[in-house]
């Protein structure tokens, strides 16, 4: 595992955002439309499909640009392209920040008498925005105590935890050729089952947490199994079925929350009782920091997924089916078995993302339990090129972007949406490697070596 490291290099610093996982289910509409749009206009770069020979073969090999070939292209794009995509989106984000800044507009009003004012206002707006993001996400050098200095990073890791889990699940699917948009629903179902175990049962320390985690896995896996079996048996496309199952999961949860069994006695809001302390992930850095054991479970899961995909025969089968289903079938692999298993595993991992929420940061079930994690995780998985290590870094980057939102708003006076814009720009550039290669004048890659890790 080597060629994958990407340092989340974000500019400078300001403020510690003490923000817990806010339940902002509103972002997801925007996010999902970006991504679904991406799936039907596949990349127009050389697909990985045997281009080495095009010397003579007449037309260069441009295969049907379906979602599968786009997935392949994205998962095989180089680390450099990913880093440059992040860079490009920060630059464009900077331009948008300038345009959104009140000071710049004011200064531009007298541009011809004092042009320097405009430029310094531009610089101020961008530098204060990005320094607020840095301070809110990673390290707040202005704080008094060391604990306060590192608090932003601890928050970031906490926010990254569910993204790691869900990103890992989606990454497996992407590499196996499945465009699973259903992490959101799988997270919801995982959280629901886990929460039921958490507040309805009362078990001893240790055991209760274990059973609750298993409940989360089970709930998510069940919600992954449905599109998996539908695709395997009927050919129903997973993009459609998983999107629809997201709605079903959300509304099922909303319905459950209307039942007496799920209602917190002392509350008028639709939410369940707080989960038993025994069923919650313990806070590893003491109660004052939100980081919980789930983060380490996520790292363990990342290693497990690496092992599954690179070392086990099952993972070999998943990868082969994803890269070329017809050759895999001809070699005796069962594409439908792989489809079902991948969806179950992906669902289980998404269910663990639900556990990071309901057994971790937000130990009570509400309709906003999954926030927009299931959709952000798609970006995380793509950004991490579907490789576990890449996903961990991408999740931390996204956790950071998320954690920095409040700081951005308070310190730089910018709308929190800028974060979302930067996120979306990253996706846009990642989904179009030829664009990034064009912008930075990179040569077209040759797929000489098999991509691993």
Partner 1 sequence: MRLELRGVTKRFGDFTANDKIDLIVEPGSVHALLGENGAGKSTLMNVLFGLYDADEGEILVDGEPAGFKGPGDAMAAGIGMVHQHFMLVHPFTVAENVMLGHEEVRGPAKLLDLGNARKRVKEISDRFGFHVDPDAVVEDLSVGAQQRVEIIKALSQRAEILILDEPTAVLTPQETDELLAIVKQLRDSGTAVVLITHKLREVQAVADHITVIRRGKVVGTALPTASQEELASLMVGRDVSMTVDKPEAKPGDVMLEVESLTVLDEFDHPQLRNVSFNVRAGEILAVAGVQGNGQTELTEAILGVVPTAAGTVKLDGEVLTGKKIKDTLMSGIGFVPEDRTEDGLVAGFSIANNLILDIYDQAPYSKGGVLRPSVVVSEAEKNVEQFDVRTTGVHATAGSLSGGNQQKVVLARELSRPLKLLIASQPTRGLDVGSIEFVHKRIVQERDNGAAVIIVSSELDEVVALADRIAVMYHGKIVDIVPPDTDRDTLGLMMAGAHEEDAA
Closer to partner 1 by CB, 81 or 422: give it.
81
Measured CA to CA, the distance from residue 452 to residue 400 in angstroms comes to 26
3-state secondary structure 219-262: HHHHHHHHHHHHHHHHCCCHHHHHHHHHHHHHHHHHHHCCCHHH
In angstroms, give the least distance from the CB of 11 to partner 1: 36
Contacts from 267-271 at CB under 8 Å and sequence distance 24+?
Answer: 269/366, 270/366, 270/367, 271/364, 271/365, 271/366
Closer to partner 1 by CB, 63 or 283: give it.
63
Measured CA to CA, the distance from residue 205 to residue 17 in angstroms comes to 32
| Phi, psi for 256 (deg, rounded to 5) | -55, -40
Closest residue by Cα to residue 67 from 382, 434, 398: 382
In angstroms, give the least distance from the CB of 316 to partner 1: 5
Measured CA to CA, the distance from residue 173 to residue 39 in angstroms comes to 14
Q: What is the DSSP string of 358-408?
A: IIII--S--TTTTTTHHHHHHHHHHHTTT-HHHHHHHHHHHHHHHHHHHHH
Closer to partner 1 by CB, 179 or 295: give it.
179
In angstroms, give the least distance from the CB of 388 to partner 1: 17
In angstroms, give the least distance from the CB of 312 to partner 1: 6
In angstroms, give the least distance from the CB of 3 to partner 1: 13
| Phi, psi for 283 (deg, rounded to 5) | -75, 125
In angstroms, give the least distance from the CB of 305 to partner 1: 15
In angstroms, give the least distance from the CB of 58 to partner 1: 5
Closer to partner 1 by CB, 18 or 66: give it.
66
Q: Are 176 and 323 in contact (CB under 8 A)?
A: no
Three-class DSSP category at 292: strand
In angstroms, give the least distance from the CB of 64 to partner 1: 12
Closer to partner 1 by CB, 98 or 309: give it.
309
Residues 6+ apart with CB under 8 A from 281: 209, 292, 293, 294, 297, 355, 356, 359, 360
Greatest Cα-to-Cα distance within the chain, rounded to the nearest angstrom: 76
Measured CA to CA, the distance from residue 332 to residue 341 in angstroms comes to 17
Closer to partner 1 by CB, 114 or 311: give it.
311
Closer to partner 1 by CB, 221 or 323: give it.
323
Closer to partner 1 by CB, 105 or 311: give it.
311
Beta pairing partners, 292: 283
Closer to partner 1 by CB, 58 or 265: give it.
58
Measured CA to CA, the distance from residue 143 to residue 149 in angstroms comes to 5
269: left (phi over 0), alpha (psi -120 to 50) or beta: beta
Residues 6+ apart with CB under 8 A from 172: 305, 308, 309, 318, 342, 345, 346, 349, 386
In angstroms, give the least distance from the CB of 326 to partner 1: 5
In angstroms, give the least distance from the CB of 342 to partner 1: 16
Closest residue by Cα to residue 8 from 401, 299, 289: 401
In angstroms, give the least distance from the CB of 49 to partner 1: 5
Binding site for partner 1 (CB under 8 A): 48-59, 72, 76, 310-314, 316-317, 319-320, 323-324, 326-334, 446-451
User: For residue 359, what are its two tokens?
Assistant: 């057994």
Closer to partner 1 by CB, 48 or 140: give it.
48
Closer to partner 1 by CB, 9 or 444: give it.
444
In angstroms, give the least distance from the CB of 317 to partner 1: 7
Q: Are 173 and 186 in contact (CB under 8 A)?
A: no
Closer to partner 1 by CB, 237 or 329: give it.
329
- How distant is the alpha carbon of residue 212 from its chain centre? 23
């Amino acid at each position: 595992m080597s060629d994958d490291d990407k340092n989340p290099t974000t500019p400078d610093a300001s403020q510690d955002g003490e923000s817990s996982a806010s339940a902002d289910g509103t972002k997801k509409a925007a996010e999902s439309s970006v991504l679904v749009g991406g799936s039907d206009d596949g990349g127009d770069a050389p697909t990985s499909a045997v281009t080495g020979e095009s010397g003579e073969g007449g037309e260069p090999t441009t295969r049907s640009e379906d979602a599968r070939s786009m997935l392949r292209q994205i998962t095989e794009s180089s680390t450099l392209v990913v880093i440059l995509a992040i860079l490009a989106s920060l630059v464009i984000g900077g331009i948008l920040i300038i345009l959104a800044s009140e000071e710049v507009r004011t200064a531009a009003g007298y541009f011809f008498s004092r042009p320097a004012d405009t430029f310094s206002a531009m610089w101020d707006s961008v530098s204060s925005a990005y320094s607020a993001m840095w301070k809110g996400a990673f390290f707040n050098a202005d704080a008094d105590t060391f604990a306060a200095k590192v608090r932003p990073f601890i928050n970031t890791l906490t926010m990254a935890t569910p993204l790691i889990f869900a990103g890992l699940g989606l990454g497996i699917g992407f590499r196996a050729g499945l465009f699973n948009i259903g992490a959101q629903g799988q997270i919801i179902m995982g959280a629901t089952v886990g929460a039921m175990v958490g507040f309805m049962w009362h078990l001893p320390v240790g055991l209760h947490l274990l059973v609750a985690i298993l409940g989360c896995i089970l709930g998510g896996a069940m919600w992954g199994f449905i599109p998996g079996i539908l695709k395997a048996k009927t050919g129903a496309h997973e993009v459609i079925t998983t999107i629809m199952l997201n709605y079903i999961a959300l509304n099922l949860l909303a319905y459950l929350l209307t039942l007496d069994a799920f209602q917190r006695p002392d509350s008028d809001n639709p939410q369940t009782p707080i989960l038993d302390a025994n069923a919650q992930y313990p806070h590893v850095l003491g109660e004052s920091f939100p980081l919980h054991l789930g983060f380490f479970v996520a790292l363990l899961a990342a290693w497990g997924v690496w092992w599954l995909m690179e070392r086990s025969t099952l993972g070999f089968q998943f990868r082969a089916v994803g890269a070329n289903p017809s050759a895999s079938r001809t070699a005796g692999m069962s594409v439908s078995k792989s489809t079902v298993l991948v969806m179950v595993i992906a669902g289980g991992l998404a269910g663990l993302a639900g556990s990071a929420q309901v057994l971790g940061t937000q130990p009570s079930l509400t309709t906003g339990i999954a926030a927009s994690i299931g959709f952000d995780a798609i970006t995380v998985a793509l950004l991490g090129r579907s490789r576990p290590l890449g996903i961990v870094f991408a999740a931390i980057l996204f956790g950071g972007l998320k954690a920095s939102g409040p700081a951005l708003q308070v310190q730089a006076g910018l709308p929190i949406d800028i974060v979302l814009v930067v996120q979306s720009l990253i996706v846009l550039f990642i989904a179009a490697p030829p664009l990034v290669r064009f912008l930075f004048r990179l040569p077209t890659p040759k797929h000489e070596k098999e991509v691993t890790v």
